[in-house]
Structure 1
Amino acid sequence: MGITVGFDLDMTLIDPRPGMVAALDALAEESGLPLDGEHFAANLGPPLDAVLRGFEAPEERIPELVDRFREIYPELVVPSTVALPGAHAALDAVHRAGGRTVVVTGKFAPNAARHIKALGFEVDVLVGELWSTGKAAALTEHGAEVYVGDHLGDINGALAAGAVPVGVTTGPCSRAELLEAGAEVVFDSLAEFPAWLAGLSPRA
């Protein structure tokens, strides 16, 4: 039986930043709140409710703001999102090795599914709305032996699940930060992943 590999979505498999800027700026205009799309897009990872609290959105308004963001997301974010270098090849490498791919993301699952469909990713399992060590439950449930992500939260999730933590520097975190957090290997992009996977020794 082949290996099961988990992947984060934003800034690991996809680059949604232009659309994220547009969506949060649209939400700012509608809501009258000082939300900063550029800052949001440059620091993707944490859940939207946490992001909104960081912009000091009133707590009582956060549920409605999250719902509205999710509503405008398909039109503003999905069409402008692109696959990051090596994303398709990384997923394909897992399947060629007889394995399974599991995307575990903090993103709202229906919108994550829209990206996967739009970009033609071959994904066996998708789990949304999990962040940092919260990702461990899904990784464990689906037997992920490796988890690949761009954020310190992804490394923490992999470690909590007992999976090999693999970092990529395509997101907001540096190689040094990812290694310090516990990544066993860090790539400049997923283009390096297939060769690494081919040389991976099975764990006892």
Structure 2
Amino acid sequence: MGIRVGCVGFDLDMTLIDPRPGMIAAMGQLAEESGYPLDGEYFAANLGPPLDHVLRGFETPEERIPELVTRFREIYPDVVVSRTVALPGAAESLEAVHGLGGTTLVVTGKYEPNAALHVKALAFDVDTLVGDLWATGKAAALTEHGAVAYVGDYTGDMEGARAAGAIALGVATGPCTREQLLAAGADVVLDSLAEFPDWLAASAGGARGPAR
């Protein structure tokens, strides 16, 4: 099945960027300040769910979660952004969409102002950024912008793509395995975004892209 290249959506963490060193440091600082046993290593190895969900997983008192989320967001710009790198093929994938006349959309569960800092710091050519959406909630932005495909590393990304009627394209650069992404509804799973430009060119030419 070929696609007409229009709007293509991308997740951010562990799809376009690797923020793990900074995430470990930021969660460590939050743990030190708050006195709660927040596991930065676990957090960074399982990026995907919203921060409030993560904090509940650490058995943080519910009444403290809003202030901890706010403080993490304050820590984030100085601690995380400078430690973050682009994943292989990220910039080239955005360029490939534009090269075929399409537009790029980043839809992320990350707090949007902090997501925008990454886009700026890494000089990503992104047409539209939407933050604070997770799993099937991402379908609202994908549908609004007419995304024909959505690329992500997490099972929730595949669920969001399918809910929007977009091609669900998994990349095995995050916490989820190829098998998990396929089970969540991925149409195609790539090893990384380094394979995306070729997949896109083949899909725009009438092929589905690499086999699962």
TM-score (norm 2): 0.94
Q: Give the corresponding residue for 1:185.
A: 188
Identify the match of residue 149 of structure 1 among 148, 152, 159.
152
Distance 2:141 2:158 in 1: 14
Residue 6 (1) aligns with residue 9 (2):
yes
Shift of 1:200: 1.0
Q: Which amino acid aligns with 2:176?
A: C
Shift of 1:179: 1.0
Q: Give the corresponding residue for 1:70.
A: 73
Distance 2:5 2:14 in 1: 26
Q: Give the corresponding residue for 1:162.
A: 165
How many residue pairs match? The answer is 203
TM-score (norm 1): 0.97
What per-residue deviation string (whole Å, max 9, x for no partner) do you get for residues 141-163 of structure 1?
01001000000000000000000
Residue 196 (1) aligns with residue 199 (2):
yes
Q: SS of the counterpart of 1:110?
A: helix
Q: Give the corresponding residue for 1:35.
A: 38
Q: Which amino acid aligns with 2:113?
A: P
Change (3 A) 1:2 1:175: closer
Runs of 4 or more, structure 1, over 3 Å off, are none
Shift of 1:2: 4.1
Identify the match of residue 121 of structure 1 among 114, 124, 136.
124
Identify the match of residue 111 of structure 1 among 111, 114, 118.
114
Question: Does the aligned pair in 1 maintain the 2:5–2:148 contact within 8 Å?
Answer: no
Residue 95 (1) aligns with residue 102 (2):
no
Task: Determine what percentage of the aligned residue pairs are the same residue.
Answer: 72
Distance 1:100 1:2 in 2: 8
Q: Which amino acid aligns with 1:191?
A: A
What per-residue deviation string (whole Å, max 9, x for no partner) do you get for residues 67-105 of structure 1?
000000000000000000000000000000000000000
Shift of 1:32: 0.5
Q: Give the corresponding residue for 1:53.
A: 56
What per-residue deviation string (whole Å, max 9, x for no partner) do you get for residues 45-70 of structure 1?
00000000000111111010000000
Distance 1:153 1:25 in 2: 26
Q: SS of the counterpart of 2:48?
A: coil
Question: Does the aligned pair in 1 maintain the 2:116–2:129 contact within 8 Å?
Answer: yes
Distance 1:26 1:156 in 2: 33
- RMSD value, Cα: 1.2
Q: Give the corresponding residue for 2:209.
A: none
Unaligned runs of 5+ residues in structure 1 are: none
Q: SS of the counterpart of 1:145?
A: strand
